Amino acid sequence: MTHIWQGFWRGLRSGAWLTPARARGYSLILLGVCAVAISGWIALSDGLIDRNGKPVGTDFSNVYAAGTLTWQGRPADAYVPALQHAAEKAVFGGREVPFYGWHYPPFFFAVAVLVAAVPYAFGLAIWLVASLAAYLAVMRAILPRPETWLIAAAFPAVVVNIGHGQNGFLTAALLGGALHLLDRRPWLAGVLIGCLAYKPQFGVLIPVALLAGGRWSTIAAAAATVAALVAVSFATLGGGVWHAFADSMTFTQTVVLEQGGTGWEKIQSIFSAARMWGASVPAAYAAQIALAIMLAACLAWLWRSNAAFELKASALASGSLLATPYVLDYDLVVLAVAIAWLARHGLRRGFEPFEISLLAAAWLVPLLSRGVAGASGIPLGLVVLLLTFACTMRRAVRDRGGDRDRKEPMRTPKRIAQA
């Protein structure tokens, strides 16, 4: 038994257990299981309402309903829970469905209007296929290896996002694309970052990194993009919709976040973990703010340093997930961006002990985080996010001098390096 545990520990430490063949095999198995599950989910639905009484695509119903309200000339109604819920029920012929709130800034109505121009099923399919394609293209650009598409497609956060009809693919594509283009096309990177303002909670640390790195053209482009989006929304929807959005933020903050209306096990933040463990709202905010300050300080140092860009990009991606109190398991699609940048650096420079196993754990955690938190109160997603960020920072401390200062290269198992 001792020999078994020693062998297990050595494999975990070296990462030699994760061969390219196993990575492909695990990915294919998970893809197959998810494809069967999704097909069965749709086949067993009744008029796009599943066996649990929820719409197929669940959260997408709020986007589609907001789009129908906009087509009717009533976009501000999307921010009123009763009116938004009525619109969601109308999408399904008046059948009773759960309420899914519309919490996005007004310029995201552009997406809602487009998907609501066609029947619900087609709108959902177009939304998921288009955003998934963008996500996969960005992942392949970050890590141009033959297996990237397969492993990125099988990433469990993908099926979580599909099941919710959510926007994790778009968020990951915008952030990952911006980081990929930051050096070569800084203005275009700024435009992508500006578009990311549709999920403003994920932009807390981006200005810190850009300012620390002196990325002035990207900052200017991002600011101009946000200003243009706001101006266009004012011109097309009117100022009243912005007042409605501002008024709705109280409901979002108190009911959805502070009271756990979404479910503590679904939210992957330290705020949610503290509330799940019984902490008061002020104590949970204090923990979240303290973590955000620590993350900002680390990123400011990192982006001012001459550490490899892969580490800066990975830390910003994982740090952006950690800094906000409102990050759900479908948002963990963004974790794929952090994994890809960190893996790219490891494949180029070698991996430290346990790093390959940590990357595998980060890849798997979206499949387990909700269930583990719901059953045990352990915020597994938060733990793995913290470990991923800490791993990136540890590499940055050792690598801050870049390739020139590395005295002893780290080692990568040959089977992985040659894949």
192-239 residue pLDDT tens: 999 999 999 998 999 999 999 999 999 999 999 999 999 999 999 999
CB-based contact 148:184 (threshold 8 Å): no
Non-local (6+) Cβ contacts of 355 within 8 A are 15, 342, 346, 391
Structure tokens at 263: 């479910």
Angle (deg, nearest 10), helices 281-304 and 309-323: 170
Q: Give pTM, 2 decimals.
A: 0.92
Place of tokens 């780290």: 410
Within 20-119, residue ranges assigned H as helices are: 20-43, 60-71, 81-91, 109-115
Residue 55 dihedral angles phi and psi, to the nearest 5°: -65, 145
Bridge partners, residue 93, by sequence: none
Q: How far apart are CA 253 and CA 22, in angstroms?
A: 43
Q: How far apart are CA 351 and CA 318, in angstroms?
A: 18
Q: Residue 204 CB: number of other CB atoms within 10 A?
A: 16
Burial category of 61 from C-beta neighbours within 10 Å (exposed 0-12, middle 13-18, buried 19 and up): buried
Which of residues 57 and 5 earns the better pLDDT score?
A: 57
- Cα 354 off chain centre by: 24
Angle (deg, nearest 10), helices 309-323 and 168-181: 150
If pLDDT is split at 50, 70 and 90, which confidence band does 12 have? confident
**Burial call 230-242: b when 16+ CB within 10 Å, e when fewer:** eeebeeebeeebb
393-412 residue pLDDT tens: 999 998 765 444 443 444 45
pLDDT value of position 21: 86
43-72 residue pLDDT tens: 888 889 998 899 999 999 999 999 999 999
Structure tokens at 130: 């288009």
Structure tokens at 128: 């998921």
Place of tokens 């499949």: 367
297-313 residue pLDDT tens: 999 999 999 999 999 99
If pLDDT is split at 50, 70 and 90, which confidence band does 159 have? very high
pLDDT at 80 over 70: yes
pLDDT at 109 over 50: yes
| Percent share of the chain, pLDDT over 90 | 80
Mean pLDDT on 373-394: 95
Place of tokens 């998810």: 34
**Amino acid (one-letter) located at 114:** L
**Amino acid (one-letter) located at 121:** A
CB-based contact 213:304 (threshold 8 Å): yes
Structure tokens at 290: 């303290």
CB-based contact 102:79 (threshold 8 Å): yes
If pLDDT is split at 50, 70 and 90, which confidence band does 130 have? very high
Place of tokens 């500006």: 194
pLDDT at 5 over 80: no
CB-based contact 181:188 (threshold 8 Å): yes
If pLDDT is split at 50, 70 and 90, which confidence band does 280 have? very high
Q: Give residue limits of the domains in the chain.
A: 18-417
